[in-house]
Homo-oligomer: A and B are copies of this chain.
Amino acid sequence: MRYAIGIDLGGTNIKSGVVDNTGKIIYKKKITTTAFLGKEVLIQQIKELICKILTNSKVKNKKIKGIGLGTPGIVDKEKGIVLGDAANIPGWKGVNIKKELEEFKLKVYVDNDAKLVTLGEKEFGVARGVKNCICITLGTGIGGGIIINGSLYRGRNFYAGDIGHSIIDLNGKQCNCGSFGCVEAYGAKTGIVSLAKQLIKKGFKTTILKKAKNKTENITPYLIAQAAKEGDKIAKEIFDEVTKYLSIGLINVIHILNPEMIVIGGGIAEAKEILFKPLIKNIKKYSPSSVVFKNLKIVKAKLGDKAGIIGAAVLVFNEEKNV
């Protein structure tokens, strides 16, 4: 049996574990991120976490093939440097996290978090055995990973899979990236929450605000999904509207890549039918030409919040195989 340490770095938590080469997490540890204290503190926190794992996991260190880490932001996988801004981790751009972690005398592999979720789902999740698929993660932002001919496709300079910043309404609203009408401006957390706030402000009757303890700043996609599950009409309408934009983002990537499967992960995918039902309805509505969608599977990611840890370990196993 081979093992790898998988680390899933986020703006709120760091999830980590020791994963064996069948995809099983045999030791798990989750800590709260202190990203707001700056990158030095965060790096120190990750190092201490690795120390604890190496000490407590009961796996002989020489059986551990390496450390895999997924981080928000685009990553130069070869150098292990974070190339783009990372949502919720101020100052993270430019950090050479690979170099930092190499002091443990283990091989270190770093990649973008959504790409590693994709890798996890491909190897041990819902996309096992699938040759060509696209995985998107819906959360604070929209992440993406592309599997082509069974391998993760990274593109020329590691940016491939950036479905969130494809433009689906050139007259649409401005996205954080500066462009107008990006899928991410509508289909991720900010877009969903701001739509809810708008409708509440307009006086529509909904249970969302009550769920948020009457403070609009407490509104989350999770609460909206809860309200929708309980039959709240406005909450349902929000998902209908949001999936309109998401569906077009997916229609485009489906037309370009003609995959076997679309995997949808990230926190918002946990809304399950509340998300998937209007999403599939809108895909059919906005792309009546059906051939490209024939037998296409659009499914929820299977590994849930463990996908990042498992994917990071898969990165290690894959890379070590190629050595």
Residues of A within 8 A of B (CB): 74, 83-84, 131-132, 144, 146, 148-149, 153-163, 165-171, 177-180, 244-245, 248, 251-253, 255-260, 286-289, 291-292, 294, 296
- A144 to B251 CA separation, bound complex (whole angstroms): 16
Chain B residue numbers with a CB within 8 Å of A159 are 255, 258, 291-292
Inter-chain contact A252/B171, CB cutoff 8 Å:
no
Chain B residue numbers with a CB within 8 Å of A132 are 155-156
Inter-chain contact A288/B160, CB cutoff 8 Å:
no
Interface-centre pick from A162, A177, A252 (highest chain B CB count, 10 A): A252
- A291 to B252 CA separation, bound complex (whole angstroms): 22
Chain B residue numbers with a CB within 8 Å of A146 are 256-257
Q: How many copies of this protein are present in the complex?
A: 2
Q: A interface, by DSSP: helix, strand, loop or mixed?
A: loop
Inter-chain contact B166/A256, CB cutoff 8 Å:
yes
Inter-chain contact B289/A158, CB cutoff 8 Å:
no
Inter-chain contact B252/A166, CB cutoff 8 Å:
yes
Chain B residue numbers with a CB within 8 Å of A166 are 251-252, 255-256
- Identify which of B155, B245, B258 contacts A160 (C-beta below 8 A): B258
Chain B residue numbers with a CB within 8 Å of A259 are 155-156
- A90 to B154 CA separation, bound complex (whole angstroms): 40
Chain B residue numbers with a CB within 8 Å of A255 are 159, 162-163, 165-166
- Identify which of B83, B157, B248 contacts A167 (C-beta below 8 A): B248
- A300 to B292 CA separation, bound complex (whole angstroms): 29
Inter-chain contact B162/A256, CB cutoff 8 Å:
yes
Cβ-closest 9 pairs across A and B: A155-B258, A166-B252, A160-B258, A159-B258, A178-B288, A162-B255, A159-B292, A156-B260, A177-B289
Known contacts A156-B296, A159-B255, A256-B256, then 15 further A-B pairs from the complex at CB < 8 Å, ordered by chain A residue: A83-B291, A148-B149, A148-B153, A156-B260, A157-B291, A159-B258, A161-B258, A162-B255, A163-B255, A165-B287, A166-B252, A167-B251, A167-B286, A170-B248, A179-B287
